[in-house]
Structure 1
Amino acid sequence: MKFSSPLIVVSDIEKSKLFYYEVLGLKVVEDFGENVTLTGGIALQTKDSWCTFIHKKDNEIVFGGNDTELYFEEDNFDCFIQRLNNMTDINYVHSIVEHSWGQRVVRFYDPDNHIIEVGENMIIVVRRFLNNGLSIKEIAIRMDVPVDYVNFCLK
């Protein structure tokens, strides 16, 4: 068995395609109308077709459960945040936070209230700590990861 891709249900597939392209840079790989695959392997499915597939009524599909997210890592986190801040219609879960392991992240909603997390690439986090004068051992302690992981990130 092989996992193929996450699929999210959307109320307006054209609006979602535009959002994922403009905000995250994802492009359409395959477009079958009611089902679209984006770069990165995310599939979008129209709400109407999804209801048919799972034998549910429209009102039984609920968006905004805050129980899952699509997670992305960004090499140039500061540049992404600047670009995101210039967009007027972003609905934030929260602004930038730095997790205990040092990774900076932002979370926001897509048009159907699916949570999107964009985090600083973990390799960049390791390099940032190294550039700030921490030793490899200190980075491992700070990030609560094995020294081998830090060394792997620095290769």
Structure 2
Amino acid sequence: MKLKNPLLAVRDMERSKAFYREVLGLHVVMDFGANVTLTGGLCLQTLDTWAGFLGKAAEEIRFGGGDSEVYFEEDDFDGFLTRLAARPDIAYVHPPLEHRWGQRVVRLYDPDRHILEIGENMKAVCRRFRDQGMTPEQIAARMEVPLKFVTGCLR
């Protein structure tokens, strides 16, 4: 068994492609009209075709259930937050926050209210702590990860 691609049903394919391109920097790899694959492997499927696959009416499909998310990591988290701040159309699940292990994240909604989490790249977290004067051992303890993980990130 091999996981291939997560797929999100969308109401307006063009709006969704623009959102993922403009906000997350993803690009179309394959476009079959009703199904589009973006860089990173995320697939978008038109609502009508998705409903047809399930044997349901489009009105039966519910968006915004808050029961899952698609997770991304960003190397330049501060730059990403700056770009987000310039977009008044972004709907946030919550503002940026720092998890107990030190990773900064923000969760937002795409146009169909799918939850997207954008987290600071874990290597960047290690480097940020190192730049604040922490030793690799302190970083491992702070992040609740093995020292080997930290030393690999700091190479």
Q: TM-score, normalized by length of structure 2?
A: 0.98
Tell me the equivalent position of 1:95.
95
Q: In the TM superposition, what is the alpha-carbon distance from 1:2 to its structure 2 partner?
A: 1.7
CA RMSD of superposed structures (Å): 0.7
Q: Deviations over 1:11-64 (max 9, x none)?
A: 100100000000001000111110000011000000000011111122220000
Q: Does residue 70 of structure 1 match 2:64? A: no
Letter in 2 for 1:44: L
After TM superposition, the structure 1 = structure 2 runs for residues 76-87 of structure 1, keeping only pairs within 5 Å, are: 76-87=76-87
Letter in 1 for 2:127: R
Equivalent residues, number: 155
Q: In the TM superposition, what is the alpha-carbon distance from 1:154 to its structure 2 partner?
A: 1.1
Letter in 2 for 1:127: R
Tell me the equivalent position of 2:17.
17
Q: Distance in 1 between matches of 2:77 and 2:63?
A: 28
Q: In the TM superposition, what is the alpha-carbon distance from 1:76 to its structure 2 partner?
A: 0.7
Q: TM-score, normalized by length of structure 1?
A: 0.98
Tell me the equivalent position of 2:48.
48
Q: Distance in 1 between matches of 2:62 and 2:116?
A: 17
Letter in 1 for 2:33: G
Q: Does residue 60 of structure 1 match 2:67? A: no
Moved over 4 A (4+): none
Structure 1 stretches lacking a partner, 5+ long: none
Q: Distance in 2 between matches of 1:131 and 1:14?
A: 42
Letter in 2 for 1:38: L
Q: In the TM superposition, what is the alpha-carbon distance from 1:152 to its structure 2 partner?
A: 1.2
Tell me the equivalent position of 2:5.
5
